[in-house]
């Protein structure tokens, strides 16, 4: 038996054993893709286990993340930081080998996968990152591939069509995707639901498509070689057998998501000439086989470092340019130049902030999902990537879901602080990718404009009601809804300083006054702060409603009630403050809240006796001031409600 | 000028005037599609303004819903219930003509559109409804088309790829979609982001594709005729000019989403031979032109009614079979047959409920997004629609977003109580379509299994944390998370009885005990009820956590604390009860809550002094009982926390 075949068999055996021991998992995919994985990892993938986060490494994404034992087996055999004990702890609490891969660059895991299609689309972002950096720094320093493994589920998800169309438009030739076409899905044959002509679809998307026997390692090698050199993104359709080598369960959906059973495992091992009484067995020569391949990765990394230091010697400016991209960001926006009292939509203030920051943060790139004239996220004077791949503006098209994933791909690749923008209500279209950013701890930035019913005439389909609450419900997502231009600038600073999770910046369509900061200093980074002092009650407000709150406070003062107004642009940041600060802001006063969205979540502040003012129903199509009158988002209406409440709670 | 040309011009003028008067809206699309609309509505669309909800009418969907003035103009000119005054009230508060079309079958508006791609995918559900009903009732009674207008945005959204692939698999030949290929998107030329080969993509999806000049009315007529007779779903790519007829703004993105301006409107009218000093002008003959076309719709409806009564005469059983499909549903599941104390996953109980209900509710159809063996939503003994279009089981494929829309399409079509199932966490993939069901008031049923971290080993990518809260945040969405098999049966009854909005049924993967209903009667329809009495404090729990709460209450009783346990499967239903009932359930006691998800939303019940127990962080991969121990979702751990809380609040 060739050493290559032995390596393939070892992967199959490790995957079977890991799943069998955990009594849970997906053995079929690792066995079906073991040939492909062995060829890719031994002959093509350029990574260095001695420096897993080397910036110019090839990226490998397991988009069909349920086959995680394949990745864990590879990382173990190639000398990344996974031991046999780690493989034995598959799917155990606290292990390095959870059910689906979780991003850990130090371990060689580029991203979290499992939710189908995300790996496909995030890989597109990684390839875009490479192409953009190569354009800036040259192919001596940036020259790597992005590989992904895909299953039929990835291709059925709409996000993969969005991302494929985008990759075709941008001509991301360094993408090589290997599709495990085993014709089996959870429900049985893929034919029951999936009969489209996948190669023709990808050709329509502008891709280079190859079609091979996924167990013919010579053909795999040739196809990858061809794909690497093609200028288009490549899809290699690999005809495979799920659970390849399992005598009775191959080609069945049973092998997809359940252990094969001890008997089948033993029979498979016997067929491969493996000892049936040993689990997690690695035959002689297999480690060495992969070590040889990895040694060439280490050589490549050393050579790259030499090229980098040579280049820095010739051009000393390169060093700071490089570290500006790959270091942390601590930019300040500086004054936006608005006058107090001026009416400025926060989306407009955001545009000014982006353009000021762009000069400081070279990695700042982004764009919108075909709402550019409305989201105001264009970096003036910079090219658009579809015209010049080294540009800074991205035209995502009407593809919010892929946009979220591509932003994540740019972000986890390194070298970028990327943002994607759309209307807040369309967060619903991209929620799965924003969640993945939160779960991976990726500091992606999502810009959501048209943040309330006050977008007006477009009506309830476009008016967010529950979206701010839904975003706040997501662990590790920071949601900032600034109340004026100054808070908007600070929101951007906060987002850029975050390094362990995403930020959603939530902005108005309509103009709102710039607050006089000689009177009230903005403290967005503390999440909430006292904007107007008062000692009868507190009114917490966010975004455009802060101005309504201020007007109500003014009116209440005339009536002898002293209302404290707290601007709370970021609940998560406020929660992160110490008890002393929080108590000082809220005092021991009765609490009311005001936000043009569902009241859900605010009762934590108001308690049972408090007053949560919001909109717990869908919106309506009308000019925004009319809606504000209609639903009582005016100073007088809020004054009345607060008077009624305080009167009531006093009795 | 031909009367047909005059009709086209009238539509253009009405659309321009509506947008101009509202000073907001999208004139470009209605003008670009006026030729297409005129041909479709005058020569092909079989509808009857005198009976807009005639079941066998053709369905028309404006997927590019921003062009709403096109639909409103057509509905006015053809004699549906929209007056000129309604057109003049475009985008005004309370008008019948909001910014985007809102579902109103009495007015001829089949569905709410605006969020792109939803109309495309929902139309697929309508066509599936027609094909299924035709199989059951024969083409004498069911024989209609589903037409939709699309823009490039619809085609960029991933949901359209999902739905196209599904429609191709099912061979839904009565679908005729007209694509407004005007090469302009909001950002400018579509080339900046959208260069894929659309015809080739749809051929790959199994569609029949035609390519025409969208201003050549003869070609439009011929293409629709060809498309109607083809057995595949048809896409007619119509090359058009946005704002066709506007002398300076045609073919520009400026005309997409803003009024053309008085000068341009006047110039356009002048070019068409329309009076420039009149708004909302309908020339002589135009009403009559459309009235002729509608008269043939009325004739068709009358002929259909005759066929129905003839058929009922021959087969008296037909009448109840028909009314069972198109009437309201008041089914009872009956006993599921489990023993008290037996361990049953609620997804399993749901399977039994579905299968019992299937016999009572012939319109009950559904399926899952390739998770059938896990969601347990198969109707035993019924065919699968891809094998027999008259079947009851749908294989949606890994296409959650399209699944949501297709379920909505079946639902708003009439004749069905449709459900779609996936893991709860993947609601994130289909949130936009579930929201549309809520906004339209469509009683779609969404079955979400694997409803908490207690799905175990699959880990955080698959473990819902914020999903239940996010669903509850959505207006008009009812969320039912039953605590045992009996509550599950009642959840299904509730969902089927709803007629004004969707229900999400949220189910466990793991087995949980069947409660002894001789002791505690389930009252799911009241949303929450006392499961165990007690007078020191109340613990509200949902789903699997109800059993943890009961165990904690048992343990606390031993320590002398009397804990009332309230099962609250549906917060929305509880909120809908009267104050007396709610007070009786909650008493004036201190309130704690227990749910394996974010605590957000529960503070409304606990107030400031209460105790909200939940999981405010992402999950982890491990066997579920280990996770329950780890995060304190056990009787003893909850007892301890309650003791600490009551001790603390007592001091």
In whole angstroms, give the CA distance from residue B542 to residue B595: 6
Using a CB-CB distance cutoff of 8 angstroms, which residues of chain A are in contact with residue B157? 158, 162, 398-400, 429
Q: What is the pLDDT of residue B185?
A: 87
Q: Which of B205, B431, B617 sits opposite A196 (nearest CB)?
A: B205
How do residues B520-546 score in pLDDT, each as one tens digit? 666 889 999 999 999 999 999 999 999
Q: Which residues contact B316 (CB under 8 A, 6 or more apart)?
A: none
Predicted pLDDT of residue A105 = 95
Tell which wins on pLDDT, B502 or A517: B502
Q: What is the mean pLDDT of chain A?
A: 96
* Structure tokens, A202: 């990808």
pLDDT over 90 (residue A328): no
Comparing alpha-carbon positions, the chain B residue that sits nearest to A196 is B205
Query: CA B389 to CA B405: how far, in whole Å?
Result: 18
Give the pLDDT confidence score for residue A131 in this predicted structure. 98
Distance of residue B318 Cα from the nearest chain A Cα, in angstroms: 32
DSSP A451: -
Q: Could you give the CA distance from residue A302 to residue A296 in angstroms, rounded to a whole number?
A: 10
Sequence-separated (6 or more) residues with CB below 8 Å from residue A555: A635, A636, A639
pLDDT tens-digit map of B352-374: 999 999 999 999 999 999 999 99
Q: Which of A635, A396, A651 is nearest to A539 (CA)?
A: A635
Q: What's the pLDDT tens digit per position in B218-252?
A: 999 999 999 999 999 999 999 999 999 999 999 99
- Cα(A489)–Cα(A522) distance, integer angstroms: 10
- Asked whether the predicted pLDDT for residue B166 surpasses 90, the reply is yes
* A65, A458, A475 ranked by CB distance to B618: nearest: A475
Helices (H), B138-194: 152-156, 158-170
DSSP string, B220-276: HHHHHHHHHH-SS-EEEEEE--TTTT-TTTTTSTHHHHS---HHHHHHHHHHHT--T
pLDDT of residue B651: 39
CA-based nearest distance B302→chain A, Å: 36
Would you name the residues of A annotated as active-site residues? Answer: 400
Length of chain A: 651
Angstrom distance (rounded) from CA A79 to CA A49: 6
Neighbours of B359 (CB within 10 A): 12
* Section B379-390 average pLDDT: 98
Whether the pLDDT of residue A167 is over 50: the answer is yes
pLDDT of A210 strictly over 60: yes
Q: Is the pLDDT of residue B40 over 90?
A: yes
Element of type H or E holding B213: strand B208-213
Q: Is the CB of residue B255 less than 8 Å from the CB of residue B242?
A: yes
pLDDT > 80? residue B391: yes
Catalytic residue status for B270: no
Q: What is the largest CA-CA distance in chain A?
A: 91
Tell me the pLDDT band of A650, cut-offs 50, 70 and 90: very low
A312 pLDDT higher than 70: yes
Which structure tokens are listed for A316?
A: 């000393």
Condensed to tens digits (0 to 9), the pLDDT of residues A329-344 reads 778 888 899 999 999 9
- At B419, which helix (H) or strand (E)? strand B417-423
pLDDT at position A544 over 50: yes
- Least confident stretch, A510-524, B341-355, B459-473: A510-524
Query: What integer pLDDT is reported at residue B649 of this predicted model?
Result: 54
Alpha carbon of A642 to those of A561, A613, A622, B118: distances in Å?
10, 10, 26, 41
Q: Taking CB atoms and an 8 Å limit, are B371 and A186 in contact across chains?
A: yes
> Which chain A residues are closer than 8 Å to B474 by Cβ?
465-466, 470
Predicted local confidence at residue B518, as pLDDT: 80
Which of A191, A194, A201, A101 is closest to A149 using CA atoms? A101
Note whether A98 contacts B472, CB cutoff 8 Å: no
- HEC per residue, B337-357: CCCCCCEEEHHHHHHHHHHHH
Distance CA(B527)–CA(B507), nearest Å, equals 16
Q: Assess contact for B100 and A449: CB atoms under 8 A.
A: no
Q: Which has the minimum average pLDDT: A68-72, A488-492, B521-525?
A: B521-525
Structure confidence by residue, pLDDT tens digits, A214-248: 999 999 999 999 999 999 999 999 999 999 999 99
List Cβ neighbours of A532 (8 Å cut-off, separation of 6 or more): A520, A550, A553, A563, A564, A565
Look over chain B and give the mean of its residue pLDDT values, rounded to a whole number.
Answer: 96
pLDDT tens for each residue of B547-584: 999 999 999 999 999 999 999 999 999 999 999 999 99
Tell me if B115 and A461 make a contact (CB, 8 A cut-off).
yes
> What is the predicted pLDDT for the residue at B650?
44
What's the confidence (pLDDT) of residue B187? Answer: 82
Q: How many CB pairs under 8 A join A and B?
A: 339
Q: Is the pLDDT of residue A451 over 90?
A: yes
**Record: contact A402-B158, CB cut-off 8 A:** yes
For A71, A72, A78, A228, A303, the CA distances from A296, given in Å and listed in that order, are 20, 21, 12, 18, 10
Q: Residue A185: what pLDDT?
A: 87
Read off the DSSP letter of residue A452. Answer: S
* Residues written for chain B: 651
State the smallest CA–CA distance between residue B88 and chain A in angstroms: 13
Confidence band, pLDDT 50/70/90 cuts, at residue A651: very low
**Cα B59 from Cα A385, distance rounded (Å):** 41
Each residue's pLDDT tens digit, B176-198 = 999 999 999 888 899 999 999 99
For the segment B92-123, what is each residue's pLDDT rounded down to a tens digit? 999 999 999 999 999 999 999 999 999 999 99
Write down the pTM of the prediction. 0.98
Token digits for B549? 């709460």
Q: Is the pLDDT of residue A14 over 50?
A: yes
C-alpha count within 13 angstroms, C-beta hemisphere, residue A253: 16
How far does A162 lie from chain B, in Å, by closest CA? 5
pLDDT surpassing 80 at residue A648:
no
Interface contact flag, B462 A384, Cβ < 8 Å: no
Look at B156 and A370 and tell me if their CB atoms are within 8 Å. Answer: yes
Please, where are the H alpha helices in A147-260? 152-156, 158-170, 198-204, 217-229, 254-257
Q: CA separation (Å) from B313 to A278, B304, B309, B317, B323?
A: 74, 14, 6, 9, 15
- HSE, CB side, 13 Å, CA atoms: give it for residue A323: 6
């Amino acid at each position: 038996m060739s050493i290559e075949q032995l390596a393939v068999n070892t992967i199959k055996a490790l995957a079977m054993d890991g799943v069998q021991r955990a009594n849970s998992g997906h053995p079929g995919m690792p066995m079906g893709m073991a040939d492909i994985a062995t060829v890719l990892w031994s002959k093509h993938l350029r990574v260095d286990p001695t420096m897993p986060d080397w910036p110019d490494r090839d990226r490998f994404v397991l988009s069909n993340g349920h086959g995680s034992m394949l990745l864990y087996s590879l990382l173990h055999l190639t000398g990344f930081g996974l031991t046999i004990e780690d493989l034995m702890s598959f799917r155990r609490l606290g292990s390095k080998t959870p059910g689906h891969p979780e991003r850990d660059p130090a371990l060689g895991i580029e991203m979290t996968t499992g939710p189908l299609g995300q790996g496909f689309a995030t890989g597109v972002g990684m390839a875009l990152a490479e192409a953009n950096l190569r354009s800036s720094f040259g192919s001596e320093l940036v020259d790597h591939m992005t590989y992904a493994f895909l299953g039929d589920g990835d291709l059925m998800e709409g996000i993969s069509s969005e991302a494929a169309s985008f990759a075709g438009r941008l001509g991301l030739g360094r993408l090589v995707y290997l599709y495990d076409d085993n014709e089996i899905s959870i429900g049985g044959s893929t034919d029951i639901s999936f009969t489209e002509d996948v190669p023709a679809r990808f050709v329509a998307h502008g891709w280079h498509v190859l079609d091979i026997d996924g167990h013919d390692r010579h053909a795999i090698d040739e196809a990858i070689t061809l794909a690497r050199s093609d200028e288009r993104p490549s899809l290699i359709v690999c005809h495979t057998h799920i659970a390849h080598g399992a005598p009775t369960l191959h080609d069945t959906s049973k092998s997809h998501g359940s252990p094969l059973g001890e008997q089948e495992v033993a029979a498979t091992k016997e067929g491969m000439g493996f000892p049936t009484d040993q689990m997690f067995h690695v035959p002689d020569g297999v480690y060495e086989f992969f070590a040889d391949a990895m040694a060439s990765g280490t050589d490549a990394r050393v050579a790259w470092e030499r090229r980098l230091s040579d280049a820095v010697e010739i051009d000393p400016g390169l060093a700071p340019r490089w570290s500006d991209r790959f270091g942390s960001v601590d930019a300040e926006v500086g004054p936006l130049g608005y006058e107090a009292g001026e009416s400025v939509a926060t989306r407009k203030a955001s545009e000014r902030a982006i353009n000021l920051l762009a000069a400081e943060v070279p990695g700042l790139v982004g764009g919108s999902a075909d709402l550019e004239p409305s989201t105001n996220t264009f970096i003036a004077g910079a090219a658009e990537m579809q015209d010049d791949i080294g540009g800074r503006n991205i035209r995502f098209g009407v593809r919010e879901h892929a946009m979220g994933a591509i932003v994540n791909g740019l972000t986890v690749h390194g070298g970028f602080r990327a943002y994607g923008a759309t209307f807040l209500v369309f967060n619903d279209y991209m929620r799965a990718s924003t969640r993945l950013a939160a779960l991976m701890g990726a500091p992606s930035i999502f810009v959501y404009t048209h943040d309330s019913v006050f977008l007006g005439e477009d009506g309830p389909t476009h008016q967010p009601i529950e979206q701010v609450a839904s975003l706040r419900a997501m662990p590790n997502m920071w949601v900032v809804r600034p109340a004026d231009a100054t808070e908007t600038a600070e929101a951007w600073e906060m987002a850029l300083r975050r390094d362990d999770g995403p930020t959603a910046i939530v902005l108005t369509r309509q103009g709102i006054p710039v607050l006089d900061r000689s009177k009230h200093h903005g403290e967005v980074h503390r999440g909430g702060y006292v904007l107007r002092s008062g000692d009868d009650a507190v009114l917490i407000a966010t975004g455009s409603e802060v101005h309504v709150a201020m007007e109500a406070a003014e009116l209440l003062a005339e009536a002898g009630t002293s209302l404290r107004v707290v601007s709370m642009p970021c609940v998560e940041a406020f929660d992160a403050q110490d008890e002393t600060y929080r108590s000082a802001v809220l005092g021991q006063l009765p609490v009311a809240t005001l936000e043009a969205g569902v009241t859900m979540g605010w009762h934590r502040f108001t308690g049972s006796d408090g007053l949560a003012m919001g909109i717990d129903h869908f919106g309506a199509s009308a000019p925004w001031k009319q809606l504000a009158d209609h639903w009582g988002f005016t100073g007088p209406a809020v004054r009345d409600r607060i008077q009624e409440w305080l009167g009531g709670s006093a009795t």
